[in-house]
Amino acid sequence: LKSRPRVPTCSCTPQKCSRQLYGTMREDASQEMRASREVVMDAVVQNGLALQHAAAELRADREVVLAAVEQNWWALAYASVALQRDREILLVAMRQGPIAFTYGAGLDFDRELMLEAAASSIAVPGSKAPVFTIQDVAFQQSGDLEVIAFGMAGNRSAVVLPPEATVGDLGARLAEQSSLSRFVFMDFLGHGVPGPFDFKRALADFTTDAPHAKA
pLDDT at 109 over 50: yes
pLDDT score recorded for residue 15: 52
pLDDT score recorded for residue 104: 77
DSSP string for residues in 123-169: PPTTS---EEEEEEEEE-TTS-EEEEEE-TT--EEEEEE-TT-BHHH
pLDDT score recorded for residue 30: 79
Q: What predicted TM-score, i.e. pTM, was given to this entire model?
A: 0.78
d(CA 163, CA 149): 17
Alpha carbon separation from 94 to 2, 79, 101, 130, 200 (Å, rounded)? 49, 15, 6, 20, 18
| pLDDT class of 211 with cuts at 50, 70, 90 | very low
Angle, CA 179 vertex, CA 178 and CA 185 arms, to 5°: 40
Structure confidence by residue, pLDDT tens digits, 53-63: 999 999 999 99
210 residue type, one letter: A
pLDDT average, residue stretch 27-41: 84
pLDDT score recorded for residue 62: 97
pLDDT score recorded for residue 166: 98
> 163 near 214, Cβ under 8 Å?
yes
pLDDT at 20 over 80: no
| pLDDT class of 26 with cuts at 50, 70, 90 | low
Structure confidence by residue, pLDDT tens digits, 113-131: 999 999 999 999 999 899 9
pLDDT score recorded for residue 148: 97
User: Which residues, listed in sequence order, are joined to residue 137 by a DSSP beta bridge?
Assistant: 147
pLDDT average, residue stretch 98-112: 82
d(CA 91, CA 140): 35
Structure confidence by residue, pLDDT tens digits, 45-83: 999 999 999 999 999 999 999 999 999 999 999 999 999
Structure confidence by residue, pLDDT tens digits, 128-156: 899 999 999 999 999 999 999 999 989 99
pLDDT score recorded for residue 177: 87
Structure confidence by residue, pLDDT tens digits, 147-204: 999 999 899 999 999 999 999 999 999 999 887 789 999 999 999 999 999 999 999 9
pLDDT score recorded for residue 172: 96
